[in-house]
Amino acid sequence: MVTMLKQALFRVFRKLETKHHELNYLFWECTTRCNLNCRHCGSDCSKDSFYKDMPLDDFLKALDTIESPSEHFTVVLTGGEPLLRKDIELCGREIRKRGMRWSMVSNGYLYNNEKHISLLNAGLGALTISIDGLESSHNWLRNNDKSFERVDIAIGLAASSSRLNFDVVTCVNKRNFQELEEIRTYLIQKGVKAWRLFTIVPIGRAKEDDEMFLTDHQFRELMDFISESRTRKDIDVKFSCEGFVGEYESKVRDSNFFCRAGINIGSILIDGSISACPNIDRTFSQGNIYKDNFFSVWQTKYELFRDRSWTKTGKCTECKDYKNCQGNGFHYWHGEKKNVLVCHNERLKKTTNC
């Protein structure tokens, strides 16, 4: 009864947030060049990207269309690997000049002491670094023997800064699944305060690789691991925003599932496309900064994100949890979009009483 009431209240909150659609996070895919070649990468990033990095001025012109950004508004530099841009500090400074915050998502490979200091001096406020296991499983996933050694340095530096809002993300797969407790201990020893876990979307180069994907039983164990970890208070562990997890909804995150793509999260992609979360299907683009006013697009378009009734198709058609889930994370709709790619709730139901 209490749970149902909480869910009903949350739906009211979600409706109000959707109506208001305040832009809080703007992801900028500032490069699609990357110095690694990860097995799980669903993007087209590579060492020799098809696209040139977006010139800073082009991005700033779009940024300057935003009228009265909220005090929480943050530009998140993502890629590819943002640290491959030689002008990354200049990008940060220009964003700060406008009174806005900026943050970055990085694989940590190029994050050394000198970079750490120069980024802090350029006003970096938050940083997310990904680590996908202990040494052997991380290097396997990253396809690079030095990758763990480098990310270990990056994590140590970032965790040592009291100015940075820093978290670590891990994509959980069959190889690192048995290491979760050890990774947790490692992160605590490094001084990391927040750890987000996510699973892989079956698209791109990961799709054919069975080792990338947890079994349904392992997925339930992952939920148990996260909920149990949250009762210990030594590190803030949470499941990413990626999907609705039924019976675990109140146990694995700070709040109920809410895919904020197109509601509070926008993005400007490498070719100028205006979208929501950077990892969603690119056919969802709402315009392009090279021909449209970014903020006007944000204010007046995004219908598919703000009215998700179109997701009531395929397995979601008859789902009794639809009103709480609304078709799972937007990034699970690809291709013809006739069915959601993954239903976490279904996976959990399959393993009830096991």
Contacts with ligand SF4 by CB under 6 A lie at: 241-242, 244, 259-261, 265, 277, 279-280, 315-316, 319, 321-322, 325, 327-331, 340, 343, 345-346
Please give the residue whose beta carbon sits closest to ligand SF4 in the complex.
329
- Please, which residue, 6 or 146, has the CB nearer to ligand SF4? 6
Element housing 26 (H / E): strand 25-29
Shortest spacing between CB 48 and ligand SF4, in angstroms: 27
Shortest spacing between CB 233 and ligand SF4, in angstroms: 25
- Please, which residue, 47 or 315, has the CB nearer to ligand SF4? 315
Shortest spacing between CB 100 and ligand SF4, in angstroms: 20
Residues 6+ apart with CB under 8 A from 303: none
For the stretch 308-317, contacts whose Cβ atoms lie closer than 8 Å and that sit 24 or more positions apart, written own/partner, are: 310/337, 311/340, 313/337, 313/338, 313/339, 314/338, 314/339, 314/340, 315/339, 315/340, 315/343, 315/346, 316/340, 316/343
Q: Quick one: tokens of 291? A: 């021909």
**Angstrom distance (rounded) from CA 15 to CA 256:** 13
Shortest spacing between CB 61 and ligand SF4, in angstroms: 25
Shortest spacing between CB 170 and ligand SF4, in angstroms: 15
Shortest spacing between CB 94 and ligand SF4, in angstroms: 26
* Residue whose token pair is 């970032």: 158
- Please, which residue, 138 or 196, has the CB nearer to ligand SF4? 196
Q: Is 309 exposed, middle or buried (0-12, 13-18, 19+ CB in 10 A)?
A: exposed
- Please, which residue, 47 or 72, has the CB nearer to ligand SF4? 72
Query: Do residues 188 and 155 touch, judged by C-beta distance below 8 A?
Result: no
Q: What are phi and psi of 68, to 5 degrees?
A: 40, 65
- Please, which residue, 162 or 352, has the CB nearer to ligand SF4? 352
By residue count, the chain amounts to 354
Shortest spacing between CB 14 and ligand SF4, in angstroms: 13
- Please, which residue, 199 or 279, has the CB nearer to ligand SF4? 279
- Please, which residue, 148 or 305, has the CB nearer to ligand SF4? 305
For the stretch 178-183, contacts whose Cβ atoms lie closer than 8 Å and that sit 24 or more positions apart, written own/partner, are: 179/133, 179/134, 179/137, 180/222, 180/225, 181/225, 182/134, 183/131, 183/133, 183/134
